[in-house]
Structure 1
């Protein structure tokens, strides 16, 4: 299990995170949702040791993350940041190969893994392309392939994918493809933690939801329990309606424009 225990973070006198505790279990998908400035990405950075905590601790499979060296951590968890800047004319294969750096596998084995993740992320037609020539969404898919290559090796120990707004530059097709691929990887004793802006995507793919507001976790739990009108309106300060999708039977959220005033409807929950 990957766990953040009562962590807080501040810049100067400004508190950014306050007493946040979150658990990521293997074979589960957890999504962090909340308004802009809620602290979602900062929480992810805190979990990956990118920012120095005021208090609290991070443990990975029962070990303090601060006690593990960077290579050992890189073999356990892979991070896909919101934006990645690469200034060299690398091919997509070379970018994906970066994910193999923490491992001591042979070049032949690395090539096999790179080929597999290219197929998994539907990047076959982009082989040989220079990374800088890709669109934002195509770069996101290459970055997903990179972190997949990083945690591809079989291991008796749980591994984790940490994704910061991975669908932000993707169209509908590739949003579902990326999140569906992440869920498929969970079968290999892997846990997924993702910051998502689209509440309906979060509800469709996540087993657990974490609602954040003003640097605090205001609600968290199984999606079927916490994906409610009350929790969404409290978190986002905006009126919504919960509807049932006639095709899938899933509950979806629809935001209400400020100029409209609708009669309240009976809240719908997951069956």
Structure 2
């Protein structure tokens, strides 16, 4: 059984269609990357999967039950969400922000694990030294890593991550996606919105390519990331290369056309 299932999900904002009859299966032990150009519907689809946005039509089920049947606290013990924006209204220190991820377990036996879990996720996301610093004073990348630690602290079977590598340096990008892969290997279902297609190729087991609110292609990175398809969807020439040493896919913009235009200008 899938951890999450979306069927015929359709959503419009006013007269603007955002999602158009989207079907998607989110499987355990797998990292699923949602990719596509700006405005394709990636973040909106993630919000629908999380239950934060109700679609106009279609259904989403978590663990075989419609999202509407879940109580919020119970759902928070099943799925954790990392949004693009990392805002906290009060000057909480970073450690307290991470500890917020333990709130769904309050009053349950799992609450006894709070201190251990918070310490473990802060270490794995490299935010231990930020523990006492006000969240509002952290850099964008530090806020992102702290928020990722909060999501990990929930200890859920589903992780929904919206651009978790935004504002991160290369080392921390790799660390965040490596941890996401570890969660999947341990049995979790992970959905991650990514703009960097080479990162998606390196870390995702499966990719859903969105375009104009529809899933244009779905499969392994090797199946989806072809130069003709990506060039069409992104409306820009794209090359897909294979790294000679590692065999990994490298997705790069073809700048030859742009450069030739500059030379002739």
Q: Alpha-carbon deviation of 1:130?
A: 1.6
- Counterparts of 1:253 and 1:183, CA distance in 2: 20
Unpaired runs of 5+ in structure 1?
Answer: 153-158, 262-271
- Counterparts of 1:196 and 1:54, CA distance in 2: 25
Q: Which residue of 1 aligns with 2:253?
A: 255
TM-score, normalization: structure 2? 0.92
Q: CA RMSD in A?
A: 1.5
Q: Alpha-carbon deviation of 1:73?
A: 0.8
Q: Which residue of 1 aligns with 2:52?
A: 50
- Counterparts of 1:87 and 1:54, CA distance in 2: 31
Q: How does 1:1-271 map to 2 (within 5 A)?
A: 1=2, 2-103=4-105, 104-105=108-109, 108-151=112-155, 159-257=157-255, 258-260=257-259
- Counterparts of 1:164 and 1:24, CA distance in 2: 15
Q: Alpha-carbon deviation of 1:105?
A: 4.1
Output one character per residue of 1:54-74: Cα deviation in whole Å (capped at 9) or x when no partner: 110001111111111111110
Q: Secondary structure at the match of 1:102?
A: helix
C-alpha contact (below 8 Å) 2:222/2:249 kept by paired residues: no
In 2 relative to 1, CA 107–220 (structure 1 residues): closer, same or farther, beyond 3 Å?
closer
- Counterparts of 1:231 and 1:116, CA distance in 2: 41
- Counterparts of 1:23 and 1:234, CA distance in 2: 25
TM-score, normalization: structure 1? 0.90
Output one character per residue of 1:233-257: Cα deviation in whole Å (capped at 9) or x when no partner: 1211111122221231212111012
Q: Alpha-carbon deviation of 1:162?
A: 0.3
- Counterparts of 1:123 and 1:102, CA distance in 2: 22
C-alpha contact (below 8 Å) 2:225/2:240 kept by paired residues: no
Q: Secondary structure at the match of 2:166?
A: coil
Output one character per residue of 1:139-193: Cα deviation in whole Å (capped at 9) or x when no partner: 11101110101026xxxxxx11001111111011111011011111113210110
C-alpha contact (below 8 Å) 2:30/2:185 kept by paired residues: no
- Counterparts of 1:124 and 1:174, CA distance in 2: 14
- Counterparts of 1:166 and 1:9, CA distance in 2: 24
C-alpha contact (below 8 Å) 2:207/2:221 kept by paired residues: yes
Q: Alpha-carbon deviation of 1:39?
A: 0.9
- Counterparts of 1:241 and 1:69, CA distance in 2: 46
- Counterparts of 1:147 and 1:259, CA distance in 2: 41
Q: Alpha-carbon deviation of 1:260?
A: 4.5
- Counterparts of 1:172 and 1:143, CA distance in 2: 18
- Counterparts of 1:84 and 1:259, CA distance in 2: 36
